[in-house]
């Protein structure tokens, strides 16, 4: 099959390149911008979940809060009148009659 020579192809290429760049411009109006922004608002950036990043960003920020909570809980527990198992056994040995009354009441 015969094909066009290089010179002719170069001429055609020149014309096609001009035509390629001679494209009509489009008017980008406010409505288009609003439409794009509305679509963007419906989306959220698809963050890839990186455990280390999450740990650094969030978990470390929670450390002071956690420490504060531990201290508060410690104070609260010390203020409460809780009876431990050790204290219950101690009470039984010291006053068996009182313990049997507690046992009868379901304690």
Partner 1 sequence: MQHDSSLRPDDTEIIHQILDGHTDAFESLLIRYQELVSKIVRRHVPHDDITETMQDVFIRVFQSLPSFRAKGDFKHWLTSIAVRTCYDYWRTVYQSKETPISEITEKHQEWLESVIHGEHGTLIEEKGSCEEAKEILDWALAKLSAEDRIVLELIYLEGHTCKETAKLLGWSVANVKVRSFRSRKKLEKILSEVMGIY
Smallest gap from residue 68 Cβ to partner 1 (A): 26
Binding residues for partner 1 restricted to 4-43, rule: CB under 8 A? 4, 8-9, 11-26, 28, 32-33, 35-37, 39-41, 43
Q: How far is it, in rounded angstroms, from Cα 60 to Cα 35?
A: 39
Q: What are the structure tokens assigned to 26, written together?
A: 């489009």
CA 101 – CA 107 distance, rounded (Å): 9
Name the minimum Å distance from CB 66 to partner 1.
24
Query: How far apart (Å, rounded) are the C-alpha atoms in residues 102 and 107?
Result: 5
Residues contributing to the site for partner 1 (CB under 8 A):
1-4, 8-9, 11-26, 28, 32-33, 35-37, 39-41, 43-48
């Amino acid at each position: 099959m015969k094909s066009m020579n290089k010179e002719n192809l170069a001429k055609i290429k020149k014309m096609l390149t001009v035509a390629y760049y001679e494209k009509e411009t489009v008017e980008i109006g406010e409505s288009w911008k609003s439409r794009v922004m509305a679509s963007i608002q419906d989306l959220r950036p698809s963050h890839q979940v990186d455990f280390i990043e999450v740990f650094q960003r969030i978990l470390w920020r929670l450390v002071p809060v956690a420490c504060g909570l531990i201290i508060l809980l410690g104070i609260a527990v010390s203020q409460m009148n809780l009876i431990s198992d050790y204290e219950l056994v101690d009470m039984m040995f010291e006053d068996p009659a009182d313990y049997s009354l507690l046992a009868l009441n379901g304690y």
